[in-house]
Structure 1
Amino acid sequence: MICGVDEAGKGSVLGPMVIAAVGVTSESVLEGLGVKDSKELSPKERERLYGLIRKRCTVSTVRLDAQDIDRIRGEMTLNAAVARAHAQAINKISPSCAYVDACDVNTLRYAEMVKSSLDSPCEIVSEHHADQKFAVVSAASIVAKVVRDRAIVSFAKKYGEIGSGYPSDPVTIRYLSDYIDEHKVPPPIARKSWKTVSNLIAQKTQRSLGDF
């Protein structure tokens, strides 16, 4: 078996990062489905393909919530955390070869980072933009994206309009700012170790001091 591994939500300030591994006996299993990098697909198309991928392939996911990421970042770099999570997703499938989307400028170094957390021998093919080069990684990117998007929808039902969760999203930043104004602390779904959060708190603290 070979598998592809990718993640969604790595740079998000709200919500989880989801890592997915998709295993196949041959890439021909994915032929004709039209899988591609999840960013190039509409939400409706991702949902459709997600169902087909789950039917045809072996799938595993690892979810790291905001609190998990804050805790882990006190122990290691984010890239190291992603590599370990990639390995955890691979371990659940036990393929002979895994294609991973490298989260390090040095692809060989990233492959070694993943290997160091594997339970059993597995060839690691680490490349940048692997989700655009290998169908099996494209499939993993779709699974990770759908699982994460569903989590964001669930959070929105509980917390209100939170946007995409990314720092570049004005809706997300407005939600964060309003929540901190009201509660004086970031929401439970926020990654408190992110500069986006600490900068917002610092700005508000300076503004409050300025009132005096």
Structure 2
Amino acid sequence: MRPRTAAPTLRRERELLRSGHALVAGIDEVGRGSLAGPVTVGVVVVELSTRSAPVGLRDSKLLTPAAREALVPALQRWAPAWAVGHASAAEVDALGILRALRLAGTRALRQLPALPDLALLDGDYDWLNRPPAPPETACPALEAHVPVVTQIKGDLRCAAVAAASVLAKVERDALMTALDTEYPGYGWAGNKGYSAPEHLAALRQLGPCAQHRRSWRLPGVPQAARVASSPLAEQLDLLAAVDGADASAARQRGTGAELSERGA
């Protein structure tokens, strides 16, 4: 039996909020190690008046798919603001994984009604600011710099980061399930683009498709077969189509005077 883990709390977020930051965003990514599909970044904003997180919240990796999906409505009601951003496989190929993470994070932050004063980022590396900025053609730069505090195991300890991981995971999983119908044979509805045995077997049999990260060392695929992926615009159009019309809209509950004033 897997040992039970303590629920993440807002302790770290409240320390940062009490130090003079009105809005703190927990940020986490999913899909970084996938062989196919986008890399996805979730952002969940909290303020000092935000109450304890919904019961059952954990790092997304510790939850079953059903448990993650069941949490989403409660998390969306709980968070003063939230958003999810993507960078496509073609953008991962063109920019590299760290700049693609920054691009996905920037896209998520741009959806918010107001930029946070501080970002609490899972891990020990500030990929939101340190890599060279993506080209403006991919995503306009943020109107203001968002400073970052990194937190090792933030998705286990910090409620806002854990919530961001759940929202990002659920949205990316749904996207990969939809892409599975566009590109059948790779088992993406189950493996979500990761290196599961059935995915590796399909790569050897079918070769890579337009949604594979061609710059990566794809198991069983010769270097000569890893030609350029489909045009970036084509991938972005497909992502938008399968992700749904509301994927690029701001997600916020809209409560809290500070958030309302800053978003005005």
Is TM-score (shorter-chain normalized) higher than 0.5? yes
Structure 2 gaps, min length 5: 1-22, 134-140, 226-264
Q: CA deviation at 1:143?
A: 0.7
- Give matches, 1:125-164, under 5 Å: 125-163=149-187, 164=191
Q: CA deviation at 1:126?
A: 1.0
Q: What is the TM-score of this pair, normalised by structure 1?
A: 0.78
**Corresponding residue SS for 1:100:** strand
Q: 2:42 aligns with which of 20, 24, 29?
A: 20
Q: Is the 8 A contact 2:99 2:132 kept in 1?
A: no
Q: CA deviation at 1:162?
A: 2.2
Structure 1 gaps, min length 5: 181-185, 205-212
**Corresponding residue SS for 2:204:** helix
Q: 2:74 aligns with which of 40, 44, 52?
A: 52
Q: 1:190 aligns with which of 183, 188, 212?
A: 212
**Equivalent in the alignment of 1:98:** 119
**Identity rate of aligned residues, in percent?**
26
Q: CA deviation at 1:32?
A: 3.6
Change (3 A) 1:45 1:27: farther
**Equivalent in the alignment of 1:207:** none
Change (3 A) 1:53 1:114: farther
**Corresponding residue SS for 2:32:** coil
Task: Pick 1 or 2: higher relative contact order, CA cutoff 8 A, min separation 6.
Answer: 1
Q: What is the TM-score of this pair, normalised by structure 2?
A: 0.64
Q: CA deviation at 1:35?
A: 1.4
Instruction: Specify which structure has the higher proportion of helix.
Output: 1
CA distance in 1, matches of 2:87, 2:128: 21
Q: Is the 8 A contact 2:54 2:78 kept in 1?
A: no
CA distance in 2, matches of 1:110, 1:63: 15
* CA RMSD of superposed structures (Å): 2.7
CA distance in 2, matches of 1:176, 1:189: 12
Tell me, yes or no, if structure 1 residue 89 matches structure 2 residue 111: no
Q: CA deviation at 1:91?
A: 4.0
How many residues are aligned here?
A: 190
